Structure 1
Amino acid sequence: MGETISKLRSMAHQKHESEPILARDGSEEDRTTPYVSINGNENGYLPYVETENHGSTYCHTCQGTGRIPKDQRNELVALIPYSDQRLQPSRTKLYVSLAVVICLLLSSLAIFFLFPRSIVVTHAGLNSSVVTLATSSQSINLSTTNVLNISNGNFHGIGVTQLDVEVLLVATVIGKSSTSNVTSVGPLGTSQIYYTVNSTIKDNTTYNICTWSKIKVHNVLLHIQGTLTCSSLGHSEQLSFDGYQYVDCRSNTTIPHSLHQLR
């Protein structure tokens, strides 16, 4: 009988020691003590670590075991402290700075090479001419071949899509010419365009100057003006040019041309 009473007192004493000294308020969930799980991969679970923090909440994901099942590791979200080193990889600022510098450098180079620059078009003069005198109508037919210089200041090629030219005598238009798909000019390159304009002069004074033998100089001053349409990188641009040139309507030894007189 004495031994039985001694055992009951010992069990009561152990139960009393296991009880907490200070009572905790709240539900059973709030009384759960954070812990650190150091167990290995037992029964298909991955270790889950909780730190001692009085302001932390109970982990429902680990279901009170302190471990996450392997078959759910791709579906669960882990909470990582802000001070964790994995969120602060080394040389992050260096890599970001290098990426920004490389992007700025590439953008600057693209703007430098693709930025549109000027295209210069100049009238280079007369290459050759064919003069035909019609005595019945007292008119002069001119077929002049002129030269146009194009200078491309861009780092990309351009295409000359349209050439429109007018030939004027004083203020009268005596000839027109229009040509499409003319040529192309390479990057930082130059090119020459030869174009022919057929003109008709119906003026008695000019006809007399060209046919009167007592006059030693038989020159006609022509005014050339036109527009050149260039395309590059998806946009087109119109460039204007003009120039003056003398045409010998009787004979010429410096510029090759032929003379035919109709009777």
Structure 2
Amino acid sequence: MPVAIITGASSGIGRGTALLFAKHKYQLSLTGRNTDALKEIAALCVSEGGISTEDVLITAIELSADNAPSAIVEATIQKFGRIDTLINSAGILRAGPVLESGIEVFDELMNVNVRSLVRLTRAVLPHIISTKGTVVNVSSINGPCPFAGVTYYCMTKSAVDQFTKCLALEMAPNGVRVNAVCPGVIVTNIHRTSGQDEATYAAFLEKSKTTHALGRPGTTSEVAEAILFLASEKSSFTTGQLLKVDGGRGIMHPR
């Protein structure tokens, strides 16, 4: 069975990806900050995904912690003996205009969305090289497209996009493929945890019907399917790509 590390697996896209990978018989190393939520998705991977309890490892850890990369990699290798794919799904959103968002907000976003991703990827790569595996980064349509009020967040996702493409060039001689998905608005808790109340979030989802060409926000399972494609041999001739899973958000322009 192939082995996948999935960060941010306790919620949102990471959670949906974990369940889909279980259904495709991956052994899973799931990381996140919420122990109870990790236990819940691990149990779901067994009950609905059809894998055994021995096929799931959870590591509750703050990804930005100094010891996080070594702890995650060492635990995974000790449990499964190999790593075939890394899914960098962990991330946070902070909103607010630049003049109202201090440098500490910028630092937090860069630390979680970029620095932590790079550190873990560097720690995993030697194992990915040995299996000629894959890396899939969860970016955002905010990477290629600018949006006012989330400037710092957009900057982090642009950084992830460049990291994806440059690393793909570096890793190609090793037979390792590196790609990213760029979701549009997906129904998760990320906007709530960024500070939106229920009324604001409901209005945001309603507006998404007009900002996405397909007339709706997306689901975590739709993004997970794209991640599975990029992680698997079905995309064996694809690397350095930013796959938009955005319902047409990136091609919409105000008139």
Q: TM-score range by the shorter chain?
A: under 0.3
| Structure whose residues are more often helix by fraction | 2
Greater RCO (CA < 8 Å, at least 6 residues apart): 2
For the pair shown, the structure with the greater C-alpha radius of gyration is 1
TM-score (normalizing by structure 2): 0.20
| Structure whose residues are more often strand by fraction | 1
TM-score (normalizing by structure 1): 0.19
